[in-house]
Structure 1
Amino acid sequence: MTIIRQPITGFSNPAVKAARALREKKHRKREGRFLAEGLRLLTEAREAGIVPEGLWLGQSRDPHPLVDALERAVSDEGGTIYETSTDILAKISGKDNPQTVLGVFADLPTGLARIDRSRSGIWLVAQSLRDPGNLGTMLRTCDAVGAGGLILIDQCVDPFSVEAVRASMGAVFTVPVAQADWAEFVGWLRAGPGQLVGTSLNTAHDYRGADYASPCFLLIGNEAQGLPEEYEAACDLLVKIPMLGKADSLNAAVAAAVMAYEVLARQR
């Protein structure tokens, strides 16, 4: 099979401008596409059956069988393969030292309707999460504990931002993500089985002594404010992670990981 690569030499090329624009949320939403960079991330996507519509390769890249596999997959799916300079890749990625492999992907579906709560006993739910690094780390935690997925409530950081995708280390392609407002989520949750467990300072229940049902939906609040009172009131159970130092709470992603492993151990 002959691989056709389209050479790109100018910064003003429309394909360069379109790819570069995907660093901004408004353009991602308008186009329904997002960027991912690095051979590892794109290989994770390919192995999950997700192939980029556009594959950008640096002219200075080293030969690698995984790059060859990506090229074949993109070609088989009718995508476009671009070959360009490091400077143009830097323009697209916004990094001085860009990866030599970038991909433009169609948005992944994020509706609650795609969530099958029976596929796992653990789910992470994040409310008004603001930091893309935390979101990416939560996706990695989902993957590590075998959670069903990550449900983003209210106005959260874009899961398809370059930063969040990078922080997920490929988990954005293997872990289902859903987005909903609070009312929609609660209506969906109460329409079937599911225990809603919130983390809060406003409880005496230690997270290590709680009874976790399956499926268990772990609700983590905003990094600064935590959960709103009405959200806490809607939980089936509130638990606290003890703080032995001067800090009053853990980082949101760290708290999610601690809780997820405790639920995993209890359910087993």
Structure 2
Amino acid sequence: MTDGPRDSDRHRITGFSNPTVKFLRSLRDKKHRRRAGKFLAEGLRLLTDALETGRVPEMLVMATERAPHPLLRTLEQEVIRAGGLVVETSDEILSKITGKSNPQAVAGVFAEFDTSLAAIDRHSADIWLVAQALRDPGNLGTMLRTGDAVGAGGLILLDDCTDPFAVEAVRASMGAIFTQRIARARWDEFLPWLRGDGEGGGQLVAASLRDAVPYRGAPYRAPCFVMVGNESQGLPEEYEAACDLRVTMPMRGRADSLNAAMAAAVLAYEVLDTLERA
């Protein structure tokens, strides 16, 4: 019995043309991610967060000149125990894989999650976040972090949103992609699902100027679905009209609106405060 992973448990890659390197690089492209059903995550903290939620990388890629760390040792052990592949390679090759000039010392490959609405129990959390046609992966990652912070159930992506499994979105989520449920749907699928099947539907809330009430003190109720729209276009009028509650936030300066992810955060914390006081 050994105290930890042995050198023989690791596969050394030294060439940029190695098929494994080509595969890992391909995961930066949405088409290839969808085809493989895999995505790439980087950083020891993020991979440790994944492990704590029960998700073990199918492949672990480590820089040869990495600093020893007990969390990395545990991660490597769990990957080997699960029958995964552990790869060692240079900083230069790891940089090519992640697309960063200063990559983290470790990255992992995970199977994409089930992102169907059917996989979500809307009554499992009091707050959910919803984004329609969100285009920026940084905003998507921020919304996942906000959801984690307020104890939301997850993030539902409507219509043509940016890919939640893009390297940039995963990085921006700071590990929240592993703690939050993610679903993808079209509007005409989401609305009937939200309204329920006899067990009571969710409350749909959006920031709006149409027949809106102040966001503070508004009558939020669980499960509350906080919806934001596209960064430049906002929500379509039809979507706003379908909301149970439209709220407005004061703009004291020259700006006429908040960033989409920031608006979701402000509303989510107000909803959290209201529900906790109820």
Contact persistence 1:138–1:256 (CA under 8 A) = yes
- For normalisation by structure 2, the TM-score amounts to 0.95
Q: Does residue 1:162 correspond to 2:167, yes or no?
A: yes
Unaligned runs of 5+ in 2: none
Partner of 1:178: 183
Partner of 2:241: 233
Q: How does 1:75-94 map to 2 (within 5 A)?
A: 75-94=80-99
The SS at the match of 1:67 is helix
Q: How does 1:64-83 map to 2 (within 5 A)?
A: 64-83=69-88
Number of aligned residue pairs: 268
In the TM superposition, residue 193 of structure 1 has moved relative to its aligned partner by: 2.1
The SS at the match of 1:81 is strand
Contact persistence 2:217–2:274 (CA under 8 A) = no
- For normalisation by structure 1, the TM-score amounts to 0.98
Q: Distance in 1 between matches of 2:46 and 2:217?
A: 38
Q: Distance in 1 between matches of 2:113 and 2:124?
A: 19
Contact persistence 1:129–1:157 (CA under 8 A) = yes
Q: Distance in 1 between matches of 2:72 and 2:216?
A: 45
Q: For the aligned residues, what is the CA RMSD? A: 0.9
Q: Distance in 2 between matches of 1:76 and 1:145?
A: 34
How big is each residue's C-alpha offset from its partner over 1:82-130, in whole Å with a ceiling of 9 and x where there is no partner?
Answer: 0011111011011111111010111111111111112111110100001
- Which stretches of structure 1, 4 residues or more, deviate above 6 A after TM superposition? none
Q: Which of residues 250, 258, 274 is equivalent to 1:266?
A: 274
Contact persistence 2:44–2:106 (CA under 8 A) = yes
Contact persistence 2:26–2:32 (CA under 8 A) = yes
Partner of 2:53: 48
The SS at the match of 1:17 is helix
Q: Distance in 1 between matches of 2:34 and 2:125?
A: 30
Contact persistence 1:200–1:226 (CA under 8 A) = no
Give the % identical residues: 65
In the TM superposition, residue 64 of structure 1 has moved relative to its aligned partner by: 0.4
Partner of 1:5: 10
The SS at the match of 2:216 is helix
Unaligned runs of 5+ in 1: none
Return the letter of the residue paired with 2:64.
Q
Partner of 2:251: 243
